[in-house]
Amino acid sequence: MTTNESANLPDLGGSKTVEPSDIDNPATLNFWEPEEEQANPAKSAEGIANETDAADDQNDDDGQESDGSADEDTEGDEDGDGEPAADDKLDETLVTLKGGEQVPVKELKLGYLRERDYRLKTQEVANKGRGLEQMSNRVVDTATAIANFLISQMPAEPSHMLAMQNPAEYTRQKAVFDVAATRVNQILEMANGPKQVAGALTKEQRESLLATESAKLAEAFPQTATEDGREAFFEDAFETARQLGWSDEEMQDVTDHRYFKLAHYARLGMQAERAKKKALEKVNNAPPAVPQGKARGQNAQQARKNQDAMARLTRTGSLKDAMNIDF
């Protein structure tokens, strides 16, 4: 029930007019009974049909998209198959090297990769070696500092005079001194361990470096690949270094192959300078050249003089005319 808006509230002394609510009206109520047919069966069937058609259309669209994707994948596979074929063709291409040898591109790639891998591994080993050497040096420095500190705190060794005057006190001081000396020696021995490791590592690094530099030297000068050629090459290099003011000790400490290349070409340059100097001396000491025409004239004149002297000698038969003949 609803209260009319124009009615006065009973508390204020007015009258109350009441109207029936829609809920209380039986005509507005609609109850579905199981025996009745479903409401709007045609509309429900039509809705289901429309939904089915929409689903079929969507499936058709999805199928077309799938076919398009499949075509694209097929084209992509064809392109992918084409690229490896081109790469294989490039790998089989022959490249002529400086010496005339023909090598496929594939071998050049593999050689470059092997060389790069070798460089990276060599650099990695060198970095690890330097790091280990630095760590060992720090350990040695720390142990040495501790040993020096303990030495500074050690008591003085008791004298033999104290042994004669007070044997008990001498024994006590000697025991304290021996314990402190033992501790210092232990710490120094601990420092010698890293030193030996660092020394062995340095030797191994030097041997590896020498092998690498020897290979580079043999690449520049193939004669050093044999024992005899190597010995002759280094003899010439050392001799050239001596002429330039280097000592044998300094040359023995050289590991970089580039210094030996410099010594080799310096030797060739010095030989060329000496040959040039000798040629200049020979030219300067040579007698002046006589013109060819003048020489012929002098010879002809001398020949005529001899003929005239022979003719006079034939006529006169004198000794003076005989002496005028140039034999």
Report pLDDT digits (tens) over 248-303.
Answer: 888 888 888 889 999 999 999 998 888 888 887 877 777 766 555 555 556 677 77
Position of tokens 């022959």? 94
Which of 153, 180, 212 is where one domain is finished? 212
Pair (234, 196) in one structural domain? no
Pair (112, 202) in one structural domain? yes
Q: Determine the structural domain holding residue 130 and report its residue range.
A: 97-212
Which of 212, 235, 250 is where one domain is finished? 212
How many CB atoms lie under 10 A from the CB of residue 145?
A: 12
Q: Total domain count for the chain?
A: 2
Pair (120, 196) in one structural domain? yes
Q: With respect to residue 140, please indicate whether it lies within any of the assigned structural domains.
A: yes
d(Cα 133, Cα 198) in Å, to the nearest integer? 6
Q: Is 95 helix (H, G, I), strand (E, B) or coil?
A: strand
AA identity, residue 268: L
Pair (198, 244) in one structural domain? no
Q: With respect to residue 181, please indicate whether it lies within any of the assigned structural domains.
A: yes
Q: What are phi and psi of 104, to 5 degrees?
A: -70, 155
Question: Is the distance from CB of 65 to CB of 83 less than 8 angstroms?
Answer: no
Query: pTM for this one?
Result: 0.35
Pair (173, 229) in one structural domain? no
Which of 156, 188, 212 is where one domain is finished? 212
| pLDDT at 90 exceeding the cut of 80 | no
From residue 296, alpha-carbon distances to 254, 256, 264, 304, 305 in Å are 65, 64, 51, 12, 14
Q: Which residues contact 105 (CB under 8 A, 6 or more apart)?
A: 90, 91, 92, 93, 94, 95
HSE-up (13 A, CA, CB side) for residue 283:
6
Q: With respect to residue 13, please indicate whether it lies within any of the assigned structural domains.
A: no
Q: Which two tokens stand for residue 35?
A: 């025996």
Q: Is 31 helix (H, G, I), strand (E, B) or coil?
A: coil
| pLDDT at 219 exceeding the cut of 70 | yes
Q: How confident is the model at residue 44 (pLDDT cuts 50, 70, 90)?
A: very low
Question: Is the distance from CB of 158 to CB of 170 less than 8 angstroms?
Answer: yes
Of residues 314 and 41, which shows the higher confidence score? 314
Nearest-5° Cα angle at 10, 5 to 11: 115
